[in-house]
Amino acid sequence: MTTHQQDANLRRYFDQQAARYGRDPLTRWLGRHEMAALAELAPPAPEPGVTPALDFGCGTGRASDVLLRCGYRVTGYDLSEAMVAQARRNLEAKPGLVLTTDRESVAGPWPLVAAMGVLDYHADTASLW
């Protein structure tokens, strides 16, 4: 399977999951623990409101919200339009936040990258990096 086909399959899957993703009890339980760990591990932004961070595979925006609270200017990327739409609803256009499905717009170096629950969906992660 090509990377393009794999991305299309993942996009379809997560587009179907987006509406109920945040209501799933297991997802909520895991998410609380993952976000607590991220909040503990992510250093405060060196220049609050200026230092950029990438939430790669932002889903419904949980990690983006944590990074915003750490003081970062956050770009959340996800291949699922429906997940990004849910993130927009959840985060209500917070200052310092950009959400996108355009992978090319997030290419390049980032001082901080969060990729929560993304890498395990890819047999070969080289193309992601």
Per-residue model confidence as pLDDT tens digits over 40-82:
999 999 999 999 999 999 999 999 999 999 999 999 999 999 9
Q: Locate tokens 């939430």: which residue?
A: 55
Least confident of 21-25, 84-88, 121-125: 121-125
Task: Please say whether the dihedral angle defined by the alpha carbons of residues 92, 65, 4 and 104, taken in this order, is positive or negative.
Answer: positive
> What's the whole-number average pLDDT of the chain?
89
This prediction's pTM:
0.86
Written in H, E and C, the secondary structure of 3-54 is HHHHHHHHHHHHHHHHHHHCCCHHHHHHHHHHHHHHHHHCCCCCCCCCCEEE
The answer to whether 16 and 86 are in contact (CB under 8 A) is no
